[in-house]
Amino acid sequence: MMKWKVCGMRDLKNIEAVAACEPDYMGFIWVSKSPRYVGADFVIPNLPAKTKAVGVFVNESTANILALSKKAGFQVVQLHGDEGQEVIDELQAAGLLVIKAVSVGTEQDVNGLDLLPDYYLFDTKKGSQVGGTGERFDWSILEVYKLNIPYFLAGGLEEASIKEAKQLPGLYALDFNSKLELSPGLKDLAKVKDIMQNI
């Protein structure tokens, strides 16, 4: 069964409404430059048992991530910076699952992977931009991916592209963000429900 994630959540009422659709993962961004930044004191509200909370970071210290995981309440960490295997190992040793984001522009971005997270996340490369672009990359690049590490797919995903994405080898989950939004951090519930039905 295909898993799905809604990322960039921030508004408490919106979180509650989206959580009622029971996505497998819900992402919360602790990156101050992001328009979807939840803030240092944010605590994730209770989610359905099925839904895992994901803390999203860029080059944050391991100590801060571990402290926030306990304070804010997430079990999964998504890393979008230059984090290496040492950081991944420390987070996993503390009992967290790790998703390592990779910006994809060419086959080499997928072919040269040597880290061992629990999951990869493949998103669209756009210059030096860190984080999501809301744009889709050439998914045929993923045909060269040979690792036994399952991956999330992000980048301009919407209802119309779900059927095509499901055909990709090794795909674990679809990651939705900006294409579902009314404004940064606020998801259109009708679109979320459409995704739920199509998954």
Which string of DSSP letters, residue by residue, matches 99-148? EEEEEESSHHHHHT-----SEEEEEE--TT--S--S----GGGGGG---S
CA distance 122 to 147: 13
- The per-residue pLDDT for 158 is 79
Q: What is the reported pTM?
A: 0.94
pLDDT for residue 135: 80
- Could you list the mean pLDDT of each consecutive 10-residue stretch along the chain, which spans 199 residues? 95 97 98 95 97 98 98 97 97 98 94 95 73 77 94 87 89 94 95 92
What is the pLDDT at residue 34? 93
